[in-house]
């Protein structure tokens, strides 16, 4: 029987983490990586049956994901599933990810209707995904969704990604392409529930620079060949 682990990076999500853990336990073991929360996220996650690793301070989503991957690699899992702790990702879609044979599976909100996605996020996602596709030669519709699965046998390659913030997730797709991994998408829906995403201007600039540098590097390599 295949062994799966659901890794949930969390930061001050005491209101939603209990329900998320409870639902995820239907599909495998659950590891919550508490990224320096100041509320009861860790306590509640443990109460509902999750394993918990807590960062002493907030390090960023990418750092939390890498902590989860490192912990998972110490055990013999077949698949690592990642989803957010705020309730946007419904664990009922986990079987969709497990049914796929690809090395990496990404949830796509664009394959299942995007009516609830805020317009600003929708537009930025579409632009970013086009750039990611140019870099990787994949044909993705949603490069920014954090609801994902990877085969454990490939997980170690993602630990070398130098980014500890949300750029990690885009960098992971590029890393998968560099290693020739097969990447597929599954349709999902998200629950936004009026929550707004607050991203600092400097982080947006940093992300744009990352994409431009990566794309520029790929183009230079192509010209050199």
What's the whole-number mean pLDDT along residues 10-36?
98
Q: Smallest Cα–Cα separation from 21: which of 43, 39, 46?
A: 46
Which string of b and e fits 213-223 if b means at least 16 CB within 10 Å?
A: ebeeebeeeee
Asked if 159 and 119 count as a contact pair (C-beta separation under 8 A), the reply is no
CA 159 to chain centre: 14
DSSP codes joined into one string, 119-136: HHHHHHHHHHHHHHHHHH
Q: Which residue has the higher pLDDT, 197 or 149?
A: 149
**Whole-model pTM?**
0.90
End-to-end CA, the chain: 46
Structural domain for 10, as ranges: 4-224
Residue 204: which CATH number?
A: 3.90.550.10
Residues 97-122 have pLDDT tens digits of: 999 999 999 999 988 766 566 777 77
CA distances from 114 to 64, 108, 111, 146, 188 (A): 27, 10, 8, 16, 10
Give residue 5's pLDDT.
Answer: 99
Helix 167-178 × helix 119-136 angle, to 10°: 20
Tokens of 213: 């540098």
The pLDDT of residue 194 is 53
Q: How far apart are CA 158 and CA 180, in angstroms?
A: 13
If you average pLDDT over residues 165-187, what whole number do you get?
96
pLDDT at site 205: 74
Instruction: For residue range 53-101, list pLDDT tens digits in order.
Output: 999 999 999 999 999 999 999 999 999 999 999 999 999 999 999 999 9
pLDDT at 2: 82
Given pLDDT bands bounded at 50, 70 and 90, which one contains residue 219? Answer: very low
Decide if 8 contacts 85 (C-beta within 8 A).
yes
Distance CA 80, CA 69 (A): 8
CB 44 within 8 Å of CB 19: no
The pLDDT value recorded for residue 122 is: 78
Which of 92, 105, 48, 100 has its CA nearest to residue 191?
A: 92
Structural domain total, the chain: 1
Counting runs of H as helices and runs of E as strands, what totals does the chain give? 7, 7
Strands 79-82 and 4-10: parallel
Rounded Cα distance, 101 and 150, in Å? 10
């Amino acid at each position: 029987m295949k062994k799966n682990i659901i890794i949930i990076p969390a930061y001050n999500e005491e209101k939603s983490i209990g329900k998320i853990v409870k639902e995820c336990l239907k599909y495998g073991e659950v590891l919550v990586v508490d990224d320096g929360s100041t509320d009861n996220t860790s306590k509640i996650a443990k109460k509902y049956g999750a394993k918990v690793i807590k960062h002493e301070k907030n390090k960023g989503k990418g750092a939390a994901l890498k902590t989860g991957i490192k912990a998972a690699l110490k055990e013999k899992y077949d698949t690592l599933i990642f989803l957010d702790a705020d309730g946007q990702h419904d664990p009922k879609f986990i079987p969709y990810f497990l049914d796929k044979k690809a090395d990496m599976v990404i949830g796509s909100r664009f394959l299942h209707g995007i009516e609830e996605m805020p317009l600003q996020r929708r537009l930025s996602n579409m632009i970013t995904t086009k750039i990611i596709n140019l870099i990787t030669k994949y044909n993705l519709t949603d490069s920014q969704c954090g609801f994902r699965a990877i085969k454990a046998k490939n997980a170690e390659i993602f630990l070398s990604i130098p980014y500890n913030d949300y750029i990690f997730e885009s960098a992971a797709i590029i890393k998968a392409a560099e290693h020739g991994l097969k990447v597929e998408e599954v349709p999902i829906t998200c629950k936004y529930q009026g929550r707004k995403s607050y991203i600092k201007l400097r982080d947006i600039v940093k992300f744009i620079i990352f994409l431009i540098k990566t794309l520029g590097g790929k183009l230079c390599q192509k010209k050199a060949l």
